[in-house]
A and B are shown apart, each in its own frame.
Chain A
Amino acid sequence: MRFNFFAVGVGFILQTAFLSIRGHELGRCPITNLFEVIIFVAWSVALFYMVVGPAYRLSLMGAFTAPLVALLQLFALIAPIDHSNRAKLPANSWLEFHASMSLVAYGAFALACIAGVMYLVQERQLKTHHLHSVFYHLPPLTDLFAAITRLLWWGFVLYTLGLISGFFVGERLPWAQIICAIGVWVLYALILQGRYLRWFAPRRVAALCIVGFSAALTLLWGITFTAQTHTP
């Protein structure tokens, strides 16, 4: 348990160092291409794990978080996606704020998704009475649900800030992307609303966290894909 936290912590420090060096080189927030975006999302996931893990004694979350972060980083390193976009993107503080807030929100949504998977695994075992060895390592259901709720709130607030700041970028607005982004925002707003108005049971909320993050990832892929194909 401690090793998980320590390992993710060391990885987080190295990620921070990399993003800092890259940021100094670029003279702006290092999210100018898909490579940097993926590293930034992985950094956000690690950041939220560091915040949420100890608060809810959910150290095992590291065993779920670490592979996701490792996969994201591995993909970023192997795939030929580190193309310089320095000339194409002029420095714009609103754009940087919009992009960084949105990506940090992705980190919270990713971790809510991981906590959702853990919840469903634990819940399934309790319901069917088939307890595997992982059962004894997973956190209690109520702790997981509290963590999911907190992560959803963090993600939702940051995503809202990112979305609003997007309107102040001062460039022509890509309406298709905006509609999709608002769609993701509405989905998360519904999950939170449903959680507090008791429309959804905790199990349903956990499942919707997975659906929501899948939708958010699809949107992110769409945004970076169209940004790369539409740049001259």
Chain B
Amino acid sequence: MNLFCVGLSHHTAGVETLERFGGNADVDYRLRGSGCAEALLLATCNRIEVYGASESRVSTLDIARCLDRKIDDHISPESATFYRYEDAQCVRHLFRVASGIDSMVVGETEILGQAKKAYQASRLSGAVGPHLHRLFQRAFRVAKQVRTHTDITRGAVSVGSVAVDLAQKIFGDLRSCKVLVLGAGETSEKTARALVSRGVADLRVSNRSGERAENLAQLTTARVVPFENWPNECREIDILITSTSSEVPLLSREKLAPTLRQRIDRPLFIIDIAVPRNVDIGVNELEGVYLYDIDSLQSIAEQSLAMRRDQIAAAEEIIAQHVGEFEQSMTRGLSRAKGTAEHTAVEDGSLRASEL
């Protein structure tokens, strides 16, 4: 029995190609009909991969035809550049994918959840047998170990998540934080939503156009503050998000300093995502004020990404060790089990709660 992986990913294919080969509802059936003893489809927005086990070789073209949705005539199974990994290379590839090393954003953890879902779906349809069961269980273990023993998931890599992470490093629990969103743009809405998802309950919105403020307030269950009153809110709030289209700074050191005297024991975190900036850079020099503009947030996101990339070598070491161990265990375990007993165990067994 040989293990293989055939697929397309953001490294090798564009969105159109990924869409075309996303597979239909009967993909499991078609894959097994093409000669795969076991098959699992991992389909995300950045990758389409089939993991299979077969007695005799199933060609890449046959797999591609099984995945073909026939929705775009410009691309054909013959022309798409599928990659293929066999045996140890396939094991290594899956371990890298599950650990987030092969992802577009290195270290992202969403892929692990997607792999678990794909495994669960194929297990329920009976497409997963002992080979893929062992392979995926080991992949989940490897991913967990990589996450625990390296810093590959450390640090936020998008502007919104960097802002939320910084807020948590200043205030800890965000549930008691008061947030004012100044300007009802798309980025400030995203950042506000991210903060709400981390527990912020007191959200206020202020905008020159009252209608847009009302719209955003409805979307995020916020309270509207009249635009002329927003400076008074600085006495109470903990986080200020600004994204107005003002050509001149709305907040300067001179304007903010008197307000701060009344709240010297509480930090004020200002996220200025407007271009040009809404907050004068001198405000950051005030005691207890932490001002971040779009450049500094992006710079931190890039630093985090670079830090994650530095961790790839350490993650690869863990993976290499597991690939070796997995090959040995497969040889030992499968010769003992001789198939039948193992099949029963897999069909009856389910993913442990900790793995879902």
Contacts and interface: CB of A to CB of B under 8 A. Distances in A.
Interface in B163-183: 166, 168-172
Contact of B300 (A122, A129, A143, A195): A129
A201 B288 contact: yes
A140 interface: yes
B284 interface: yes
Contacts of A133: 151, 154, 307
A202 interface: yes
Contacts of B169: 122, 126, 135, 138, 140-141
Interface residues on B, range: 20 to 34
Interface in B242-275: 264-265, 267
B90 to A, nearest CB: 34
A126 B171 contact: no
A172 interface: no
Given A122-B169, A195-B265, A201-B288, A129 B296 contact: yes
B157 to A, nearest CB: 13
Interface in A98-130: 122, 126-127, 129
B126 interface: no
B237 to A, nearest CB: 15
Q: Is the interface of A mostly helix, strand, loop or mixed?
A: helix
Interface residues on A, range: 20 to 34
A142 B300 contact: no
Contact of A139 (B172, B264, B287, B288): B172
Given A129-B292, A131-B303, A140 B172 contact: yes
A201 B303 CA distance: 30
Interface in B204-245: none
Contacts of B307: 133
A22 interface: no
A45 to B, nearest CB: 24
Interface string A142-163: 1100000000000000000000
A131 B264 CA distance: 24
Interface in A147-204: 195, 198, 200-204
Contacts of A204: 287
B265 A201 contact: yes
B288 A203 contact: yes
B264 A127 contact: no
B161 interface: no
B326 interface: no
18 contacts: A126-B170, A127-B284, A129-B292, A131-B303, A133-B151, A133-B154, A136-B151, A136-B155, A140-B170, A141-B171, A143-B172, A195-B265, A198-B264, A198-B265, A201-B288, A202-B265, A203-B288, A204-B287
Interface of B: 151, 154-155, 166, 168-172, 264-265, 267, 284, 287-288, 290, 292, 296, 299-300, 303, 307
Given A126-B290, A129-B296, A143-B172, 14 more contacts: A122-B169, A126-B166, A127-B284, A136-B151, A136-B154, A138-B169, A140-B171, A140-B172, A141-B169, A142-B170, A195-B265, A198-B265, A201-B287, A204-B287
